[in-house]
């Protein structure tokens, strides 16, 4: 066993942090091995010296007062109101809004606006049949539309929260 591992096991034994099996192992090794016994006696003496000479040093009362007096005059830095450039946010919003409008225009162009030939009632609206297979067959288009909707809602939420804080 390496010397470092031996010292770690002995330190755990001295500190009382070792498991029961490890305590039994260390006691057996101290009783049977001269190297373990010598290392144990050195570390136990070092531990005793450390515990005997430990005095907690505290700064003087005047030092504490001087530090507190210096801190009294300082003011904390004010929180900044802008972390992100507003033009960047607006340009991202314009991109998403324009892409949503583009997809809506594309969808409306796919609608068949022709009126049915046999209309009995003069107020009947023309039939609008939409070919959903063309509009919704592309997975990437669906993902992009969902992302645009989510980003638009997040932008709307941010806008509404900003207006509420001003009031």
Query: ∠80-83-88 over CA atoms, to 5°?
Result: 145
**By the 8 A CB rule, do 36 and 10 touch?**
yes
Per-residue pLDDT of the chain (167 residues; tens, 9 = 90+): 588 888 888 888 888 888 888 889 989 888 998 888 898 998 888 888 887 776 767 778 888 888 888 888 787 777 766 677 788 889 999 999 999 999 999 888 877 767 555 555 555 556 667 666 665 667 777 788 899 999 999 999 888 888 665 54
- The alpha helices in 16-138, defined as continuous H runs, are 20-32, 34-52, 61-72, 86-109, 132-135
* Residues facing residue 130 across a β-bridge: 111
pLDDT of residue 91: 92
Domain boundaries, the chain: 3-52, 86-117+127-166
Supply the DSSP symbol for 130.
Answer: E
> For position 161, what pLDDT does the model report?
85
Q: Would you state the pLDDT for residue 17?
A: 85
Q: What angle do CA 24, 25, 26 make, to 5 degrees?
A: 95
Instruction: Say what the pLDDT of residue 167 is.
Output: 46
| pLDDT at residue number 149 | 94
The pLDDT of residue 16:
83
Q: Residue 97: what pLDDT?
A: 95
Closest by CA to 130, choosing from 154, 155, 158, 104, is 104
């Amino acid at each position: 066993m390496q010397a470092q591992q031996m010292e770690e096991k002995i330190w755990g034994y001295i500190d009382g942090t070792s498991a029961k099996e490890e305590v039994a192992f260390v006691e057996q090794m101290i009783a049977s091995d001269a190297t373990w016994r010598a290392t144990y006696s050195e570390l136990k003496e070092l531990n005793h010296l450390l515990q005997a000479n430990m005095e907690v040093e505290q700064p003087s009362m005047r030092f504490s007062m001087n530090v507190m007096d210096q801190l009294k005059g300082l003011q904390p830095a004010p929180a900044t109101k802008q972390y992100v450039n507003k033009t960047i946010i607006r340009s991202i919003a314009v991109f998403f809004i324009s892409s949503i409008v583009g997809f809506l225009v594309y969808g409306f162009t796919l609608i068949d606006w022709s009126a049915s030939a046999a209309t009995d009632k003069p107020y009947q609206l023309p039939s609008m049949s939409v070919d959903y297979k063309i509009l919704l067959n592309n997975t990437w288009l669906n993902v992009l539309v969902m992302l645009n909707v989510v980003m638009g809602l997040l932008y709307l939420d941010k806008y509404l929260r900003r207006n509420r804080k001003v009031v």
